[in-house]
Structure 1
Amino acid sequence: MLFREEIGESITLKFAEAANERRKKGLPIISLGLGEPEFRTPQPIIDATVAVLQTKNSNYSSPMGVQSLREKIAAKLKNENGINATADNIIVCAGAKQAFQHMMMVMVEPGDEIIVINPSFVSFVPQVYIAEYDCKVVTVDVSKVDFSLQLDEIRAKVTPKTKAIIVNSPNNPAGYMLSQEQLTELFAMSEELDFYIVSDEIYEKLVLDDNKHFSIGSLEEKPTRVITINGFSKSHAMTGWRLGYACFPSEFKHNLLKYQQHTNTNTCTFIQEGMAKAFDISQDYLVDYNGKLSARFKLYNDMIGRLDKVSGIAPQGGFFAFMNISKLGMDSNTFCARLIEATGVATTPGIAFGDHWDDHVRISLATDDKIVEEGLRLMEDFIKTL
């Protein structure tokens, strides 16, 4: 297998070295870097999964996934997202990342072009190139003024070779949410110019204040040109369980079936069965957690308001804030390295999310209130010294 240069381990080396040095010295690190829920996996899911193990119902399943779980996912998409899917449009994978990879493997062909909207999740571009060495990734940045889609620029980048555009809302790393109006325009463009849309919606349940998530897949009568990627890691605190899914147009089913058969056979069956049994549990815990996130983002917004050397656009959903450090005159790797050296606060350099985002830093507010408060306080004091 040939690996393109774009498939790198990390381009945040300077920051990583600073973090490692601090660990070697036994000094504490306040992590505002990872996007992992602080709440516990809901007990009914744990109980249901244990019950499945006790019945020994953990044999092979269909490569596409346990039928009962696929049916419940399809019903969820129809009732909550307005996506008119059936179980035949669903494949269950080991996480949303694998669901995305499966779609790239069956979609992308030599010579295709894939448009990625930056800043973007660090695995999107590598996964495209892993799927097809001989393809082209074209990036289009959202506006640095308000994180809106640059629809005219997207249109200008579309060619007859464009296979798909990848969008992510709520967004990692920037925390923005694409409006129904923007997504409707993008969908109309996809129909006019004939390309697919891959919509990563893994953060859909983590929505701040009065913002509303909108699924672009709801704009078509049945899955035809929109592929929806989602899962349970963020909404159910199941990051390590690895359970995600793709909702896809029926034309991809045969190749997805073959690909899953010859790679993974099937996703872990007892986790699938457990999730199916506990699928309809109350998610009231998200009300409390989203309230906590809103309070933490207020602390972040207040900090930004007190500082004239950095700026930021208020996040609408997800875990992350994307702080603009362009006035500091340093790249994101340098900022993050100096920050962790001086304070022990770990953040993520913006360069990891796109070539034009080296003037931003990602801050995760997913963790405990006290850690967030202390991390932001130390960060503010550090920025004042620059």
Structure 2
Amino acid sequence: MVDAKILNSISSRARALEASKIREVAELGMKKDGVLPLWFGEGAWSTNPLIVDAAIASLKAGNHMYQPNNGMMALRQAICTYSNELLSSRLNPAQVTVTPSGMQGLMLTAEFLVSPGDRIVAVEPGWPNLIGAFKATGAEITSVTIVPKDGHWTLDVDGLIAELTPGTKAVVINSPNNPTGWIMSDEEQCLVLEHCRRFGIWIVADDVYTRLYRHGRHAPSFLSITEPEDLLISVNSFSKCWSMTGWRLGWIVAPAVFEGKLGQLTEFNTSCTAGFVQEAGITALRDGEEEIASLLEKIQTGYELSAERLNTFSRVEFIEPDGAFYCFFRVDGLTNSFAAAVEILEQTKVGLAPGVAFGPQGEGYLRLCYAQPVDVLEEAFVRLEPFLSK
């Protein structure tokens, strides 16, 4: 227990931070043998050797030094080429800042936008780190809730727009959504963009799962419909699509006029992203489409197995996701999802994320990452059956 006097000596924002409930469950599980870890948003597969070899070659070539704050120009250009081909965007390198992870990109975005007391509207349930970054910089959060309706996850977009009142600093949208798999449609994005343009409200788009879309090559993206000067920050990462969670590499897209300010903020945070890691990112973007196709095929197999099994349990209410790689399911009678996740871990050695970690709207739910081999998922459901059936 931290002494109260010592605790009070740190900033009020640091004192107010709450531990991630996902991380709490995972920390318990990491101390045990034989646990099936389905708690994080992380696939089970290693990074493609082409990408690994690019990093090794870069290290052997002597790429050991500091890099530009905003990232290597070759990677920034590769990101533009990738995005413009995929999304019909019109990016130029001045809009791109490379970050050591998507999470750092979110934190950089929050530091860039938020003054203490600023009003941020967020779509929830949502990844706790996404909201946490804005809370850590002093934002006041207003939530608009995704809800199950007629067998789909839906958002009242008119209700969202009604919350985007003059004086709101930004709206934070994660689509495809973690944990639900909800998608904001093209039409809905256009409505939100038009409103935000009218009132000078920033859009922060967490685009990490854009390629993990079950109905096409990519999910709808604000980058496809915005102009370069629009108040949009898109945050992305190499973690999910290229199986690079441990590499810590991401990027943000913002209006080019802020290239210098984002570089300055980077200088005072991490200074730069490692050059050899950036070289791996260039290879992923240029040569990684087969890797993405292979990953999507494995993820679809994992989804089909998981959906089939979940739908056999009478206590479980499960809605098909349109994107990402999670099953977010409600368990009848479950009122404390964190306690349930701990109990499941202790009794079955299956690690799940508690729904309450994604906001109060997630209470009563559990999240399972199905980006796993078939044999792992089959064993997980064998172990889970007593809990989900009782």
Is this a same-fold pair by TM over 0.5?
Answer: yes
Whether 2:351 is the aligned partner of 1:342: answer: no
Partners in 2 of 1:167 and 1:278 — Cα distance? 26
Partners in 1 of 2:101 and 2:330 — Cα distance? 31
Partners in 2 of 1:242 and 1:27 — Cα distance? 26
- Structure 1 residues 342 and 55 mapped into 2: Cα distance closer, same or farther (>3 Å)? closer
Whether 2:17 is the aligned partner of 1:7: answer: yes
Whether 2:143 is the aligned partner of 1:139: answer: yes
Letter in 2 for 1:349: P
Q: CA deviation at 1:165?
A: 0.8
Partners in 2 of 1:59 and 1:174 — Cα distance? 41
Q: CA deviation at 1:380?
A: 2.9
Q: TM-score, normalised by structure 1?
A: 0.91
The count of residues paired between Structure 1 and Structure 2 equals 378
Structure 2: gaps of 5 or more residues: 1-10
Which aligned runs of 4 or more in structure 1 are off by greater than 6 angstroms?
none
Whether 2:220 is the aligned partner of 1:243: answer: no
Q: Which moved more, 1:27-36 or 1:234-243?
A: 27-36
Partners in 2 of 1:12 and 1:263 — Cα distance? 25
Whether 2:205 is the aligned partner of 1:196: answer: no
Partners in 1 of 2:37 and 2:284 — Cα distance? 32
Whether 2:73 is the aligned partner of 1:67: answer: yes
Q: Could you list the per-position Cα deviations for residues 43-86 of structure 1 after superposition, in whole angstroms to 9, with x for gaps in the alignment?
A: 22222221211221332221110011101111211111122110
Partners in 2 of 1:195 and 1:331 — Cα distance? 36
Aligned equivalent of 2:373: 368
Q: CA deviation at 1:251?
A: 3.5
Partners in 1 of 2:44 and 2:21 — Cα distance? 27
Contact 1:303 1:380 survives alignment (8 Å): no
Contact 1:85 1:223 survives alignment (8 Å): no
Partners in 2 of 1:371 and 1:177 — Cα distance? 28
Aligned equivalent of 1:154: 160
Q: Identity of aligned pairs, percent?
A: 25
Q: CA deviation at 1:379?
A: 1.8
Partners in 2 of 1:91 and 1:75 — Cα distance? 14
Letter in 2 for 1:143: V
Aligned equivalent of 1:178: 184
Aligned equivalent of 1:16: 25
- Structure 1 residues 251 and 163 mapped into 2: Cα distance closer, same or farther (>3 Å)? farther
Q: CA deviation at 1:212?
A: 4.3
Contact 2:306 2:377 survives alignment (8 Å): no
Partners in 1 of 2:237 and 2:376 — Cα distance? 27
Aligned equivalent of 2:322: 316
Partners in 1 of 2:349 and 2:288 — Cα distance? 38
Query: Which residue of 87, 102, 105 corresponds with 1:96?
Result: 102
Partners in 2 of 1:209 and 1:219 — Cα distance? 19
Partners in 1 of 2:334 and 2:48 — Cα distance? 45
Aligned equivalent of 1:48: 54
SS of 2:42's equivalent in the other structure is: coil
SS of 2:289's equivalent in the other structure is: coil
Letter in 2 for 1:16: V
Q: CA deviation at 1:209?
A: 5.1
Partners in 2 of 1:212 and 1:274 — Cα distance? 22
Partners in 1 of 2:249 and 2:216 — Cα distance? 28
Partners in 2 of 1:239 and 1:85 — Cα distance? 25
Letter in 2 for 1:203: Y
Contact 2:355 2:363 survives alignment (8 Å): yes
Partners in 2 of 1:349 and 1:99 — Cα distance? 25
SS of 1:152's equivalent in the other structure is: helix
Q: TM-score, normalised by structure 2?
A: 0.90
Q: CA deviation at 1:5?
A: 5.6
Q: CA deviation at 1:210?
A: 4.7
Aligned equivalent of 1:86: 92
Q: Could you list the per-position Cα deviations for residues 135-170 of structure 1 after superposition, in whole angstroms to 9, with x for gaps in the alignment?
A: 311111112222222212212322222111111122
Partners in 2 of 1:266 and 1:290 — Cα distance? 31
SS of 2:227's equivalent in the other structure is: coil
Aligned equivalent of 2:287: 281
* CA RMSD, Structure 1 to Structure 2 (Å): 2.2
Whether 2:301 is the aligned partner of 1:295: answer: yes
Partners in 2 of 1:278 and 1:323 — Cα distance? 33
Partners in 2 of 1:384 and 1:211 — Cα distance? 37
Letter in 2 for 1:271: V
Contact 1:168 1:201 survives alignment (8 Å): yes
